[in-house]
Structure 1
């Protein structure tokens, strides 16, 4: 008897509508949090490059057999699986290709497959026979994909399906095999080895030069199915004669929070953001993008950054001249993270500016992947709970309270926003809403950290990011770039970047992509006393600060607040926290000798230093 195969399909919810005009509503709202992942990466910020640094199924599968450590082979050929390290926050490459016992997976057949009633084969050891391969080669103007799947049907017929072509196009395809498992496995293994230069059992190894790169995919139940039709706004479009369309439950959220959810989870803005960053969502949808693939992308950029800093590494580490090494590493990155270049030649990442742009892409992908997971739901959920309510619940907020516009709290915060616009930024805000917020667990994390106790230098500071990043930011918190990321992508090292001038942070919101809508955070940050003070960029600022026993860097700018006051005037819980006193004196020249930055930067190197306190929804 052939081993059993399992498959599950995800159900994609309808798309939220574009944001509607704001409706004032003061009532606080809270909801229980979802279970959250631990580690978290941050939006970054510099003056020179604002957009570059800040920032389930219808059928449940039966339990899989526990995977063995040595071999992963259906009966015919020995095929060992990659070694799986003990559980860690960062999974081993190829681990997503192994179905865990009791796992609920969504493993779609290639969307252009002409084999009907077939499904992806999973062997007795849980190995999923689905491989996505990419190859980018700038000098040859190649940006190609190769897809190979081992499929079976209920009658026990096995086929190997392959499809190949240029990224962004349908390409060509072929069905291989005589119907037996042995023959299908032989074709699958041969195609994978021919294209990647690696055996299927070694798919987690480093990609071979001038060969295709294996792209690990996520099979989580909230990942979108490649077989799904585009989301339809109107359920009447799918209505068959005699069908009764159930009305979605009415939202229980405050209208202001409903509009915020429509903004954060707006799928049109997601598409526009990915287009702006040249990411090819058709090749690798957000739901299919694995954490490991993002980290491998960061590592490729880190290798490039080290090469920029030390060209001698081209020969020492890569055995080739500097231009060839730069192109080879660029090819690796674009093979891992698919970009939509059309018929244009893929570029070579040969400058820090281009490197920072790609870092921004990976950071945005991390946040948007989290938001994408929140957006997915099965049909039963949407029948029981309004879509916006479920999305809000997915954020896991302890508190989100719209402020009354005539309250002293609102007025103080509005003044801070409007009075700290830099003269070089030309920012023009229209405040739609201000929310007092609290992320679940963030207060406890702070109070149990080394930064608790009497304030040393605690300030209320700005942080801006794309609207599409806020599903990840609110659910996971502000995050610090992973070890795989190149330090040269961050002006003062890897940390969370904050500002005391609102327009500096607003530059990172990229409001044009979201139809003029922008979201800004006010964060309570314990900076410590003293801070590591600099007047110019230093990639090693984080390590230098820690070596001196300091927890933050202050990049001093030419312009900043003239006076500070206690933020207890905004809310009693902020007593002891400082904020600019713009009523006493407007921001002006700081007279800092040799200042290179136009405005102040504050960089924290531990996420426990920060609590998100307010969220501004503005038009720009």
Structure 2
């Protein structure tokens, strides 16, 4: 937006009123920039969409006449979920990937680390099969941030592209499915609140296609990227050490490496982000249950 001063304020005020008309709220929010629009407009719309889907899936649990309503909802989910053994190779690989690419989430003046509670292998029927994914080129295992409110929809429907294009992280690639090689990026979305320290991180296999476009700033024409469905890599201020990357099963690359400064210090992205425009090129593979813990806090174990 080229307008500044009072003209800009008038435009943002108009956007805010339009959004309040579509998404009613007891506390209407006034947008002041694109980041506000992303955080409190686009993200809010996606959350309401996913909560609506989840509520339809769950329905009335208490009024059900089924002997086992929970099992019935699990079947409707259309996604097999099974816990990984903690001594399995996959479990150890994922914990290493998380520990290596994680940085504390900062909320206010407090830094939060994470500990892994459980890791689940998931097989969503809505996503391409593993055999289909195996045939695709440039496969990478990437972190995808999700709020707890979005989780059921991801498992039942798979990933959906972003609802809009905005020149800010998360939406700068247009209507794309965006993941990262840094668990630190996904952890920002997984954090819920201090009162609810549990969250989930998603690991997905994404095929970036035969040609990967690298960008250092928000693309000017996202529609052409959406039409051509090419993989895009947004270069962040930090990157994973490529010397530590390795190949996992089925020729899938795992960009597990220490986070180090990149040569792109002016990038709007903190970490590398990857955009895929075709849902058929992504498959949710693992669900990592984590607990956010205040760093440096000492627990008072004395009895009253």
TM over 0.5: yes
Contact 1:531 1:551 in 2 (8 A): yes
Matched residue, 2:181: 500
Cα pair distance change 1:446/1:337, threshold 3 Å: farther
- 1:566 corresponds, among 228, 247, 253, to 247
Cα pair distance change 1:619/1:353, threshold 3 Å: same
Matched residue, 2:22: 336
- 2:281 corresponds, among 609, 612, 620, to 609
Query: In the aligned structure 2, how far is the partner of 1:417 from the partner of 1:323?
Result: 42
Contact 2:165 2:174 in 1 (8 A): no
Matched residue, 1:373: 56
Asked if residue 579 in structure 1 is aligned to residue 259 in structure 2, the reply is: no
Matched residue, 1:316: none
Query: In the aligned structure 2, how far is the partner of 1:558 from the partner of 1:328?
Result: 34
Contact 2:146 2:200 in 1 (8 A): yes
**How much has 1:393 moved relative to structure 2?**
2.3
Matched residue, 1:391: 73
Matched residue, 2:36: 354
**How much has 1:377 moved relative to structure 2?**
2.9
**How much has 1:431 moved relative to structure 2?**
1.2
Matched residue, 1:523: 204
Deviations 1:344-390 (A, max 9, x none): xx5543422321121111010011111111221376635421x4323
Cα pair distance change 1:460/1:445, threshold 3 Å: closer
Q: Which secondary structure does the structure 2 equivalent of 1:617 belong to?
A: strand
Q: Which secondary structure does the structure 1 equivalent of 2:190 belong to?
A: coil
Matched residue, 1:401: 82
Contact 2:128 2:282 in 1 (8 A): no
- 1:467 corresponds, among 136, 148, 151, to 148
Cα pair distance change 1:405/1:378, threshold 3 Å: closer
Query: In the aligned structure 2, how far is the partner of 1:509 from the partner of 1:608?
Result: 24
Cα pair distance change 1:581/1:379, threshold 3 Å: closer
Query: In the aligned structure 2, how far is the partner of 1:311 from the partner of 1:351?
Result: 12
Aligned residues: 281
Two-structure CA RMSD over aligned residues (Å): 2.9
Query: In the aligned structure 2, how far is the partner of 1:382 from the partner of 1:503?
Result: 44
More strand by share: 2
Cα pair distance change 1:335/1:492, threshold 3 Å: same
Cα pair distance change 1:371/1:336, threshold 3 Å: same
**How much has 1:444 moved relative to structure 2?**
4.2
Query: In the aligned structure 1, how far is the partner of 2:12 from the partner of 2:161?
Result: 26
- Structure number with greater Rg is 1
5 Å matches for 1:161-560? 309=1, 326-341=12-27, 346-356=28-38, 357-377=40-60, 381-385=64-68, 387-397=69-79, 399-422=80-103, 427-444=112-129, 447=132, 454-482=135-163, 485-488=164-167, 490-512=171-193, 515-538=196-219, 540=221, 542-545=222-225, 549=228, 551-560=230-239
The structure showing larger relative contact order (alpha-carbon pairs under 8 Å, at least 6 residues apart) is 2
Contact 1:445 1:608 in 2 (8 A): no
Contact 1:532 1:550 in 2 (8 A): no
Gaps of 5+ in 1: 1-308, 313-320, 569-574
**How much has 1:455 moved relative to structure 2?**
4.3
TM-score (norm 2): 0.81
Contact 2:174 2:226 in 1 (8 A): no
Cα pair distance change 1:431/1:478, threshold 3 Å: same
Query: In the aligned structure 1, how far is the partner of 2:209 from the partner of 2:123?
Result: 22
Cα pair distance change 1:445/1:368, threshold 3 Å: farther
**How much has 1:546 moved relative to structure 2?**
5.3
**How much has 1:430 moved relative to structure 2?**
1.6
Contact 1:421 1:427 in 2 (8 A): no
Query: In the aligned structure 2, how far is the partner of 1:327 from the partner of 1:462?
Result: 35
Asked if residue 618 in structure 1 is aligned to residue 290 in structure 2, the reply is: yes
**How much has 1:481 moved relative to structure 2?**
3.1
